[in-house]
Amino acid sequence: MIVFVSGAVRSGKSEVAEACARSLAHGGRLHYLATAQATDEEMAARIRRHQERRTASGAYWMVWEGPARLEQLAGSLRPSDVVLIDCLTMWLANDLFVGDSWRTEEASFAIAGRLLDDVRSLADACRAVVIVSNELFSGGVPTDPGTFCYMKTLGWLHQQLVAEAAVAAVVECGLVRVKKGRWPQ
């Protein structure tokens, strides 16, 4: 099962997704695929807050740093496990902006296709994959070619994942608005 959780920056989507993953675990192990990289002090502080919140929840999370360890994660999953990917926007950016992949639509969509295949593989190997992603599309069309390519690619990836998801929700101000399926209790 795929659960897709999106929302604006600082909307509370990570907390909501973590609670969702814990509720789906039913005795299975919790895996956290952390895709952010501490590229500056602000991001390092955000990563620390996420780590502290997970620790405070009392749940034990097996943390996998970055998509480079995805093969190890996939190989260690049990059918009862739940994987939380936080977040898809960083995961795509990490891959898309290595070299010049963003310069062509074909290359950028190939990267998105690989990420989609990775999510499918994870979902086939465990009980559920909960995906966190940012909504970036309410501010209009950017003029910068890299940003425009990124947004088009992310939009396509969102559509593909939501089409395959059992549940899709948007978080606003910490409140969940379910757009597809039934929110796990």
Q: Is 50 a catalytic residue?
A: yes
Phi and psi dihedrals of 149, rounded to 5?
-60, -45
Edge-first strand order for the sheet with 61-65 is 61-65, 30-34, 82-86, 128-134, 2-7, 167-172, 175-180
Phi and psi dihedrals of 93, rounded to 5?
-60, -40
**If you ran DSSP here, which 8-state letter would residue 69 be given?**
G
Q: Which of 51, 49, 124, 131 is nearest to 83 (CA)?
A: 131
Which listed residue (26, 31, 50, 158) is catalytic? Answer: 50
Catalytic residues: 50
